[in-house]
A and B are shown apart, each in its own frame.
Chain A
Amino acid sequence: DAGITQSPRHKVTETGTPVTLRCHQTENHRYMYWYRQDPGHGLRLIHYSYGVKDTDKGEVSDGYSVSRSKTEDFLLTLESATSSQTSVYFCAISVEGPNTEAFFGQGTRLTVV
């Protein structure tokens, strides 16, 4: 699994609270991604990073921010959680960029009540 760890694995939070999800990798790969998975929508990109402090928005970035201060950690923050952000969040890495295979973490199931 390319040494990817997501934390927490499960979280229940209240509407309006900030939430931070962590993705940690042990292989020093440059490219990291955050996806969300919802029934009927497959996987949709939230944000991605191509290096320390280098990030860009994906298809569904509204309401989310990211930070990458170290190669090994990619943090996803929900500034003020809403029920529409209830989802399963996957972190992924790719070794040589988006033209190569991606390895996914185990996922974080987030419920916003």
Chain B
Amino acid sequence: GQQVMQIPQYQHVQEGEDFTTYCNSSTTLSNIQWYKQRPGGHPVFLIQLVKSGEVKKQKRLTFQFGEAKKNSSLHITATQTTDVGTYFCANFNKFYFGSGTKLNVKP
């Protein structure tokens, strides 16, 4: 189907370490979105990738869309405690969200 699989499920890092979450689909995606949800909060849109091989940066966050448009990644450089939360990828035009990667950052 149009579901997206996301790994890892959990990631615990020391503050200052890097973090990456991966999103994979068995079918070609027209676009992919990323959201962040803080503990107890609601999902907040981060970015949308549309083009094959696209790379976008937001400060310490780097988002990539695979050449085949079947996978995507979110990389955070030098994590901070403010990065704590769950990161979701979404094939929103098919209404599917990945199961999320929960990031915990130890100060």
Binary contact track A29-54/B, C-beta < 8 Å → 1, others 0: 00001010000111111001000000
Looking at A41, A97, A100, A102, the one whose CB has the most chain B CB atoms below 10 A away is A102
A79 on the interface (CB 8 Å rule)?
no
What is the CA–CA distance of A32 and B33 in the complex, to the nearest angstrom? 17
Contacts of B9 in A (CB 8 A): 40
What 0/1 readout, one digit per residue, does chain B (2-45) give for beta carbons within 8 Å of chain A? 00001001000000000000000000001101010000011111
Contacts of A98 in B (CB 8 A): 92-95
Interface bin, chain B: 20 to 34
Task: Please classify how large the interface on chain A is, using the bins under 10, 10 to 19, 20 to 34, 35 or more.
Answer: 20 to 34
A104 engages B93 (CB within 8 Å): no
Q: Mind listing 11 A-B residue pairs with CB under 8 Å?
A: A42-B88, A42-B98, A42-B99, A45-B95, A59-B95, A90-B43, A94-B92, A98-B94, A101-B92, A104-B42, A105-B42
Beyond the given pairs A35-B97, A42-B6, 11 more chain A to chain B contacts, judged by CB atoms under 8 angstroms and listed by A's residue number, are A41-B99, A92-B43, A98-B94, A98-B95, A99-B31, A99-B93, A100-B48, A101-B33, A101-B45, A101-B92, A102-B45
